[in-house]
Structure 1
């Protein structure tokens, strides 16, 4: 009588253990994957935006913009001098 009870208890423990370790369903995997991709792209977008802002505010970018502005002003002055006569 003790042996069938012991076997029944072992079967219940085995069933409870296998139910506790269920693998995620396909839907849960896709949801998890989607959340991971959203997090990665959000981080990437933030890092890219920060990098562009740092470059925009860098000394090189500022000097380049100023140089182009000066060159455009010189061309405008030459055009006015040439075609105003």
Structure 2
């Protein structure tokens, strides 16, 4: 009786160990998944940057800086022209 229980327990341990080894990913799979995650993140980042640069706030800010720079250039040209 004790021998059959010991054999059953050993079979369960062996089965659990075999399943655990199958579930472990290889280094190649880890790097492949990491590469895929980087590609997804870069696409999402590119979309986000595009949305931000096309936003109303960004457009108004760019226009304001352009106007201020043009005013400053005009003022400098008027001052040092004489």
Does the TM-score normalized on the shorter chain lie above 0.5? yes
Q: CA RMSD in A?
A: 2.0
Moved over 4 A (4+): none
- Structure 1 residue aligned with 2:78: 81
Q: For this pair of structures, how many residues does the alignment match?
A: 65
**For 2:26, what is the secondary structure of its paired residue?**
helix
TM-score, normalised via structure 1 length: 0.68
Q: Distance in 2 between matches of 1:69 and 1:46?
A: 30
Q: Distance in 2 between matches of 1:64 and 1:83?
A: 29
- Structure 2 residue aligned with 1:33: 30
For structure 2, the residue ranges without an aligned partner over 5 or more in a row are 1-10
Structure of higher CA gyration radius: 1
Shift of 1:58: 0.4
